Amino acid sequence: KSMEIDLSDYDRAPMYALNEILWKSIKGADSEMPPPIHRFRGATPD
């Protein structure tokens, strides 16, 4: 699966797929990766 990802530039790699490859390489092929958590807070008007 990792051989199919274009790694010529870091912005080309799909974030979730790359994270899943890294997760499974460390935790094991049968491990479940937790869902991503996105925490972004934009600027609030004063």
Instruction: Indicate whether 46 pLDDT > 70.
Output: no
In a domain, 42, yes or no: no
Domain that residue 13 falls in: 1-29
Instruction: Indicate whether 28 pLDDT > 70.
Output: yes
Report pTM: 0.64
In a domain, 13, yes or no: yes
In the chain, how many domains are there? Answer: 1
Residue-wise pLDDT for 2-27, tens only, equals 788 888 887 888 888 889 999 999 99
In a domain, 43, yes or no: no
Q: For residue 38, what pLDDT is reported? A: 81
Compute the distance between CA of residue 42 and CA of residue 33 in angstroms, rounded to an integer.
27
In a domain, 5, yes or no: yes
Compute the distance between CA of residue 19 and CA of residue 36 in angstroms, rounded to an integer.
9
Cβ-contact 17, 3 below 8 angstroms: no
Compute the distance between CA of residue 31 and CA of residue 15 in angstroms, rounded to an integer.
18
